[in-house]
Structure 1
């Protein structure tokens, strides 16, 4: 496969505070066998200095207990030598950096006699693969989402994690085969020239991380849906799209932008699974514990109301297309049901297309517009003078007053 987009498209996002992981959806954490240092060494292990973070290894997080089905490519890559290579790369990169936290790899001591033990894992939240036939070319996109996940073992508490996502796009004149897809995931795991990889992004996250304060107030996306017009648009431009998976992606993307742009602790979206207050965790050595998860103080409900595309102008050589994305956002306190914000926000993006271009990837341009909407909206939460508000927020007093309330809510969560 010929790589045309040699500089990988990447949208790694992280805040200077941690983002709490979800267990409120009964997500199951299963560490990859043989990856990383043992979480718990024997009782005779020498304890590291107080304040040290212990690297526990690489873990899967999933609502599905069948890891091979949820992670069809990563579960293969992280078997045997792939696991060893990833762990070795993480260790090498971390030891070459000056990080806010001291991270130990080989001596974790015992949970039974530790007065305080905090561990760190590279948690893999998901993988996606898509192939699109656009004109005379095929576009392969592979994506991995993960987070730097912290645990307090004494209290059996998930402390939080910095989320990030990397993706890569290859274009070729022939359909990508299984070998091409495996190669893409392999290089995102072990690293390759001119490509971003999981280990390097993980370390970049750690450069800005610190063990989170569980006392902070938390925001969390609890609802993510598609409106009728959005469904109709998707059926027209991306009929093969898994709409259920897309709603989860919408929630995750919004949470990542909010956490990064506002430096907040966020409880990630937990899909439509049953909600609980703990999650099962199975570590490398086989030990299993139940980790407590804090409740969200404020809930965010997202409904992608629709998308639009129309031709704005045309010349003898190109056409100017305008893409629009519309999202209903509600922010409320779950106990009192007090609504702080309930408005439809919107974003427009233009794209100049040469008339000689045979086809246009409308869905990719539409999702890029949606991500721009999330980015601009979450940035404006700490900048009431943002020019984006003039076009993205409804032009009425209620919308402005609610946005001011949202600003104050965000401040209270820092």
Structure 2
């Protein structure tokens, strides 16, 4: 456990939007987000202003958020800072016959850190994805417009701004002593990796980060517990660099987790369920092992295999089938349902999905563990 200098602080300074990783590589890792910020500034706005507008409507319940300059906090004994830290920007165009499928995924953290010690004390993962189809290669301007929708929301679904505001509204500040939990390891079998799109396999560590973020967000959102970010790929050791939009760079120390979550995605299956003149139904199944334990004592709270299936109907008129969204729904659904059980919601799914015969008692132990980390 990590001693915090925050104490009972109820005032938090808002640092705006930041980007994780070394400053020299931000233009390559976040090209469209940075272009979007330039558009906002040309319209007398900014990522900072837009984010704060959403937070001001859905105000935090457990602390006061101020917009005083972060630089004014220098020399303060107790100063907590909050930021929307973007961790990745994924833009992919895949070809299916004459169709061009555009996929955009932004991931980030509602992150809190102690300005004096530069220690991360809270992080709530958020993400939003957007899919669009074209009959031509989308232009940079068309892609940029969709990136804007990912930030602002689309089809009555909240985007990054709205999800950050929701995370902040329910976020809690740490007490004197905090306990931390992290997805520390994620692995994917060759079978699971084979169904992923190329953009998740082109960069070393990308597929593992995708898997860890999926699990982290499911648990954090449903259980209401902060998660130490899974940072392989943009952190060195346990130090994470981030640059806020005014150019200032912070090097933050991540806490060592008291509890670790390990996930292994083992297999996938696609099974034809039914067929009619209108189309064919398939069940997409995913299989994974999960283990939640305390490294110091060796205590294991949850250890089981899981399985989940989701049905997708493919119309007879459809000329191509992209299986990945269905596999994603299956994998994500598995950990959403598990997280709902850990949140205390009754769901008969867990008894049929989990291999452990004592899954009920394991869930009870995990509920108590997660309550210690809130």
Please name the residue that 2:78 is paired with.
116
Please give the per-residue CA displacement for 1:370-404, whole angstroms capped at 9, x wherever unaligned. 1101101111124485211132111x535555444
Q: C-alpha separation between the residues in 2 aligned to 1:109 and 1:275? A: 25
1:378 aligned counterpart, secondary structure: helix
* 1:225–1:86 distance in 2 versus 1, CA, 3 Å: same
TM-superposed deviation, 1:170: 1.6
Q: C-alpha separation between the residues in 1 aligned to 2:214 and 2:348? A: 22
1:177 aligns with 2:139: yes
Please give the per-residue CA displacement for 1:140-178, whole angstroms capped at 9, x wherever unaligned. 121211222222213332221332111222222223232
Please give the per-residue CA displacement for 1:216-254, whole angstroms capped at 9, x wherever unaligned. 3221111111113323x42xx745642731221110111
Please name the residue that 2:5 is paired with.
none
Q: C-alpha separation between the residues in 2 aligned to 1:321 and 1:193? A: 26
Which of 352, 355, 366 lines up with 1:406 in the alignment?
Answer: 366
Give the TM-score of the pair, scaled to structure 1.
Answer: 0.76
* 1:393–1:104 distance in 2 versus 1, CA, 3 Å: same
Please name the residue that 1:69 is paired with.
28
Compare the two structures and name the one with the higher helix fraction: 2
Are the counterparts in 1 of residues 100 and 137 from structure 2 also a CA contact under 8 Å? yes
**How many pairs were matched up?**
362
Q: C-alpha separation between the residues in 1 aligned to 2:343 and 2:133? A: 39
TM-superposed deviation, 1:112: 3.8
* 1:385–1:207 distance in 2 versus 1, CA, 3 Å: closer
Which of 110, 124, 127 lines up with 2:89 in the alignment?
Answer: 127
Are the counterparts in 1 of residues 21 and 235 from structure 2 also a CA contact under 8 Å? no
Are the counterparts in 1 of residues 200 and 210 from structure 2 also a CA contact under 8 Å? no
TM-superposed deviation, 1:281: 5.1
Are the counterparts in 2 of residues 222 and 270 from structure 1 also a CA contact under 8 Å? no
Return 5+ residue gaps in structure 1 as ranges.
1-19, 21-49
1:386 aligned counterpart, secondary structure: coil
TM-superposed deviation, 1:262: 1.3
* 1:408–1:321 distance in 2 versus 1, CA, 3 Å: same
1:312 aligns with 2:273: yes
Are the counterparts in 1 of residues 93 and 103 from structure 2 also a CA contact under 8 Å? yes
Please name the residue that 2:123 is paired with.
161
Please name the residue that 1:391 is paired with.
352
Q: C-alpha separation between the residues in 2 aligned to 1:381 and 1:351? A: 27
Structure (1 or 2) with the larger CA radius of gyration: 1
Are the counterparts in 1 of residues 180 and 259 from structure 2 also a CA contact under 8 Å? yes
1:227 aligns with 2:189: yes
Deviates more, 1:404-413 or 1:369-378: 404-413
1:74 aligned counterpart, secondary structure: helix
RMSD across aligned positions (CA):
3.1
* 1:331–1:272 distance in 2 versus 1, CA, 3 Å: farther
Please give the per-residue CA displacement for 1:264-306, whole angstroms capped at 9, x wherever unaligned. 1211212267763444455566665553332101111111101
* 1:411–1:320 distance in 2 versus 1, CA, 3 Å: same
Are the counterparts in 2 of residues 117 and 153 from structure 1 also a CA contact under 8 Å? yes
Spell out the pairing of 1:198-213 with structure 2 (5 A cutoff): 198-213=160-175
Return 5+ residue gaps in structure 2 as ranges.
3-8
Q: C-alpha separation between the residues in 2 aligned to 1:119 and 1:68? A: 25
Compare the two structures and name the one with the higher strand fraction: 2
